[in-house]
Structure 1
Amino acid sequence: MRNVVLIGFMGTGKTTTGTALAKTIGFSFHDLDEAVETESGMTIPQIFAEKGEPYFRACEKQMVKKAAAMDRAVIATGGGTVKDEENVRALRETGIIVALTANVNTILQRTGTKGVRPILDGEDGGNRKKAIEKLLFERRGLYAQADFSVDTSDRSAQEVADAIIETLKTRGEYDVGMA
């Protein structure tokens, strides 16, 4: 089976769902944001503050290439990973792309306090709800590139993982005996 790549806006549950999905289907789990932090020795907010978004995106691209080369992996991308066509192309070559979605209020609740989401905190004068609405609108076409999508708004990570597995089975991409 190909890798399963989770894309979507921040706060849609890519990491928590990815962990549950990987455990359920017996794949390894790889979080691209975590890989960037480990590789750089800095948190993402520190990277943005000290080196800027272009530096972060270059690091992210390197992690995408490494992740795309993996086998039997669930890969959680950062919310903006899909802004780069090369990233999407590399991940699609070895994976099935699943967009996780959520409504604005759910995302607002899940993204927590200011200071940990540089993209949101810098937009619309720090009004997170407006920033989320604006960025979701701007990125809707990017997330629409997925092979399919699952709304995570009112579901647990395991419920979302189960919905992904059911869709993969329906598409002939997953056989229960493969795990």
Structure 2
Amino acid sequence: MTEIENQVRAALGELLDIAAVRPGGLVVIGCSSSEILGEKIGKGSSPETGKAVAKAALAELEARGLFLAAQCCEHLNRALIVERAAAEKFGYEIVSVRPRPKAGGSFATAVYEAMRDPVAVEHVRADAGMDIGGTLIGMHLRDVAVPVRLRVKHIGDAILLAARTRPKLIGGARAEYPDETNGGQA
């Protein structure tokens, strides 16, 4: 699993460098352990693979002072596992569910088991995100999502997609816009 952990850390590190998410920000990750192992999504859930991805993602995010939102699978309506502190900080309503490998997915289960005070929420508005294996994280990103092309294209056999977000540009032709590379801050 070391190779998977290395791929996750490299990809997430590159995304965070590009996205410039500020400390205290939120990053969503959706992950199919089945796809990582070359199986069809939802058909070969692997707790060991989920743990490897969770370990690497949590280490990278915690080192930067960021919160993780781990997206569950469709059986839990793509709910997310977050630290209670994140749910309270962002005002997210907590719902009652505990993910399992076959209902929520191996990654979300591993994150739930690794977090200090995990809770489930139905929706987040993340600053950036990674989709490992076609898990469809877009519904949990802030407006406006911007694709990020990373050097790492796959985690195991799973296709990797990433995005950052930026503030909406409003005001039309007479408006001035700050440099978006710093998150839209003037």
Q: By the TM > 0.5 criterion, same fold?
A: no
Q: With CA pairs under 8 Å and 6+ residues apart, which has the higher RCO, 1 or 2?
A: 1
More strand by share: 2
**TM-score w.r.t. length of structure 1:** 0.30
